[in-house]
């Protein structure tokens, strides 16, 4: 449910499919404009807003003059309430050491975020990335970000936040840095789940009402498996504002017979290590296989991180197939009315790259209290 809009204005850089924006919109912010350079992600962002935001700028961020962009929207430097940004993070991630180098061009996109802060000069900033950014180059990147923001007058705090602690059915640890030039130090909202609080939201809570699918299912629209009293509170929340007896984005990658034969051998909670060596001959260097490869989810636990669930071969808890786009979107806390556009591979990547909106709503509400 959306909070009342108090004319709080946001800008979202590296917007992707819109997870960060959606969380802030649900908290009552208006996203004045968003920037995204992937055409399918930008289409997903635009199509899910029906004109609620003024524009999605499809562009390489380095080509944007934010001073001119503010003028276009009749805004001045310093009038935006919060600037959001989650630059592409593959170069900081510890899950792929081949790309985790200072030479990765994506590792310099945080500098574009800092440039935008200087030109837009928002009251607050939110910077999101993989947890590995905190240790990258022995913390040098975070030192640079903190130093430059401090020079601009921002008081910053950061933490590694686990989405599961805030009701998202997924263990997803991410770096969040929040800064304010209002001489207010931000405090992250306290976790609502685990350690004597509410139970964690499980995979079963999240997706058990969705229809059973086959390997390679390409029927986008399918009826729900369960309705009414059988729904969990989380499922009811995901179906809000979607008054239909079906859902969309049910497509699943078509895997080969070899891959399906591997799936069949993996128990709930298991992974590639449960597959006999005779079926893994094409994996020459198994030292590169982390615990999320060929991971079969367990009904009674939150999911592991939804990164690229097609490449990692995340497996449904009881069916021998990968996850559908809608299942992954549920595990990311996207409501069912939120539709993903583009080809299947693009949709999968959009969901994987997103920031869970349920988490960002809670952060946004905490920031809103300071702005009100």
Count of domains observed in the chain: 1
pLDDT above 80 (res 335): yes
pLDDT given at position 1: 57
pLDDT given at position 133: 93
Considering only the C-alpha atoms of the chain, give the largest distance between any 2 of them, rounded to a whole number of Å. Answer: 64
pLDDT above 80 (res 97): no
Average pLDDT over residues 157-184: 95
**What pLDDT digit, counting tens, does each position of 223-235 carry?**
999 888 889 999 9
Q: Are the beta carbons of 36 and 60 closer than 8 angstroms?
A: no
pLDDT given at position 137: 75
**What is the domain range of residue 160?**
8-194+355-371
Average pLDDT over residues 285-303: 84
Q: Does the residue 56 lie in any domain?
A: yes
Q: Does the residue 315 lie in any domain?
A: no
**What pLDDT digit, counting tens, does each position of 59-94 carry?**
999 999 999 999 999 999 999 999 999 998 655 555
pLDDT above 70 (res 127): yes
Q: How many residues does the chain have?
A: 372
Q: Does the residue 209 lie in any domain?
A: no
Q: Does the residue 303 lie in any domain?
A: no
Global pTM value: 0.92
Q: Are the beta carbons of 67 and 99 closer than 8 angstroms?
A: no
Which range is least confidently modeled, 15-29, 98-112, 193-207?
98-112
pLDDT given at position 100: 43
CATH number at residue 162: 3.40.50.150
Helices then strands (H, E): number in the chain?
11, 9
pLDDT above 70 (res 195): yes
Average pLDDT over residues 103-129: 89
DSSP state at residue 63: G
pLDDT above 90 (res 283): no
pLDDT above 70 (res 258): yes
pLDDT above 80 (res 153): yes
Q: Does the residue 32 lie in any domain?
A: yes
Q: Does the residue 190 lie in any domain?
A: yes
Mean pLDDT computed over every residue of the chain = 91
pLDDT given at position 95: 54
Task: Give the span between the Cα atoms of 2 and 5, in whole angstroms.
Answer: 8
Non-local CB neighbours of 112 within 8 Å, separated by 6+ positions: 13, 61, 62, 87
Q: Does the residue 135 lie in any domain?
A: yes
Average pLDDT over residues 140-161: 95
CA nearest neighbour of 296 among 275, 326, 325: 275
Give the rounded percent of residues in the chain with a pLDDT score beyond 70. 90
Q: Does the residue 69 lie in any domain?
A: yes
pLDDT above 80 (res 99): no
Q: Is 89 a catalytic residue?
A: yes
Pairing of strands 82-85, 124-130: parallel
Give the rounded percent of residues in the chain with a pLDDT score beyond 90. 80
DSSP state at residue 177: E
pLDDT above 70 (res 98): no
Catalytic position from the list 40, 89, 193, 251:
89
pLDDT given at position 118: 98
Helical spans, DSSP H, in 8-163? 19-26, 39-47, 66-72, 109-120, 140-151
């Amino acid at each position: 449910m959306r909070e009342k809009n108090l004319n709080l204005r946001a800008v979202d850089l590296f917007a992707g499919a819109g997870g960060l924006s959606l969380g802030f919109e649900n908290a009552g912010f208006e996203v004045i404009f968003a920037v995204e350079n992937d055409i399918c992600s930008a289409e997903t962002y635009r199509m899910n807003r029906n004109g609620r935001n003024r524009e999605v700028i499809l562009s390489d961020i380095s080509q944007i003059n934010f001073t001119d962009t503010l003028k276009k929207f009749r805004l001045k430097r310093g009038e935006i309430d919060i600037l959001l940004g989650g630059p592409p993070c593959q170069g900081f991630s510890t899950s792929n050491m081949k790309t985790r180098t200072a030479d990765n061009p994506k590792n310099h996109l945080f500098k574009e975020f800092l440039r935008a802060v200087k030109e837009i000069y928002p009251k607050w900033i939110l910077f999101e990335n993989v947890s590995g950014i905190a240790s990258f180059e022995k913390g040098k990147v975070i030192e640079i970000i903190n130093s430059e923001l401090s020079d601009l007058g921002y008081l910053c705090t950061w933490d590694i936040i686990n989405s599961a602690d805030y009701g998202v059915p997924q263990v997803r640890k991410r770096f969040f840095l929040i800064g304010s030039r209002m001489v207010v130090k931000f405090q992250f909202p306290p976790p609502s789940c685990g350690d004597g609080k509410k139970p964690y939201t499980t995979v079963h809570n999240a997706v058990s009402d969705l229809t059973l699918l086959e390997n390679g299912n390409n029927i986008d629209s399918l009826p729900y498996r369960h309705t009414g009293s059988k729904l969990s509170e989380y499922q009811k929340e995901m179906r809000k504002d979607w008054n239909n007896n079906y859902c969309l984005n049910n497509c699943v990658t078509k895997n080969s017979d070899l891959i399906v034969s591997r799936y069949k051998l993996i128990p709930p909670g298991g992974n590639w290590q449960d597959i006999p060596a005779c079926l893994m001959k094409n994996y020459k260097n198994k030292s590169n296989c982390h615990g999320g490869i060929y991971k079969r989810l367990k009904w009674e636990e939150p999911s592991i991180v939804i990164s690229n669930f097609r490449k990692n071969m995340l497996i449904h808890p009881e069916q021998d197939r990968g996850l559908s786009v809608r299942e992954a979107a549920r595990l990311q806390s996207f409501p069912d009315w939120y539709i993903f556009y583009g080809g299947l591979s693009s949709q999968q990547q959009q969901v994987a790259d997103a920031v869970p909106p349920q988490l960002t709503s809670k952060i946004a509400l905490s920031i809103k209290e300071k702005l009100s």
